[in-house]
Amino acid sequence: MDGEMDQTIQLAFRIAIVWAAGFLLAVAVRALLPDQNGFTLSGQAGTLFISFSRIGFWTCLLAALTVTALVVCRALIADIGWNNFR
């Protein structure tokens, strides 16, 4: 039981580190990229300007979410008993 608790705590710390790094990177990207640069999407209802800083911000957060999902799925698969997943 102690081994499972250790792995759970280690997994929680890994996820927390990934999220913290993702937020720090996202904030840095948002601060470094200017809001005036980006691209415009044109549609029938009008145009939408999307700045590069917002794209970078959401990309970093999406990466953190993806890594979290992969780590959790790997832990679930290991709990099920599929040990060859390494």
pLDDT band at 77 (very low <50, low <70, confident <90, very high): confident
Please determine, for residue 82, whether its predicted confidence score (pLDDT) is greater than 80. Answer: no
Q: How far apart are CA 16 and CA 31, in angstroms?
A: 22
Q: How far apart are CA 18 and CA 24, in angstroms?
A: 10
Please determine, for residue 1, whether its predicted confidence score (pLDDT) is greater than 70. Answer: no
Q: Do residues 16 and 54 make contact, with C-beta atoms less than 8 angstroms apart?
A: no
Tokens of 30: 């948002």
pTM above 0.75, yes or no: no
Q: Tell me: the pLDDT tens digits for 17-58? A: 878 887 888 788 778 877 788 888 888 889 988 887 777 778
Please determine, for residue 86, whether its predicted confidence score (pLDDT) is greater than 70. Answer: no
Domain boundaries, the chain: 8-80
User: CA–CA distance from 10 to each of 7, 14, 27, 57, 66 (Å)?
Assistant: 5, 6, 26, 27, 18
